[in-house]
Chain A
Amino acid sequence: QVQLVQSGAEVKKPGSSVKVSCKASGGTFNTYSISWVRQAPGQGLEWMGGIIPIFGTVNYAQKFQGRVTITADESTSTAYMELISLRSEDTAVYYCARGIIPYDYGDQFDYWGQGTLVTVSS
Chain B
Amino acid sequence: SYVLTQPPSVSVAPGQTARITCGGNNIGSKSVHWYQQKPGQAPVLVVYDDSDRPSGIPERFSGSNSGNTATLTISRVEAGDEADYYCQVWDSSSNHYVFGTGTKVTVL
Q: At the interface, yes or no: B14 with Cβ under 8 Å from chain A?
A: no
Q: Quick one: which of B46-93 are within 8 Å of A by CB? A: 48-49, 54, 86, 88, 90, 92
A95 cross-chain contacts in B, Cβ below 8 A: 42-43
Give the distance to chain A from B56, nearest Cβ to Cβ, in Å.
12
- Are B86 and A45 in contact (CB-based, < 8 A)? yes
Q: Quick one: which of B1-58 are within 8 Å of A by CB? A: 1, 31, 33, 35, 37, 42-45, 48-49, 54
* CB-CB nearest in chain A for B48: A108
* CB-CB nearest in chain A for B4: A44
- Are A45 and B45 in contact (CB-based, < 8 A)? no
- Are A47 and B98 in contact (CB-based, < 8 A)? yes
Q: At the interface, yes or no: A77 with Cβ under 8 Å from chain B?
A: no
A107 to B92, CA, bound (A): 10
- Are A108 and B1 in contact (CB-based, < 8 A)? no
> Measuring CB to CB, which residues of chain A are less than 8 angstroms from any residue of chain B?
35, 37, 44-47, 50, 59, 61-62, 95, 97, 105-110, 112-115
> Measuring CB to CB, which residues of chain B are less than 8 angstroms from any residue of chain A?
1, 31, 33, 35, 37, 42-45, 48-49, 54, 86, 88, 90, 92, 94-102
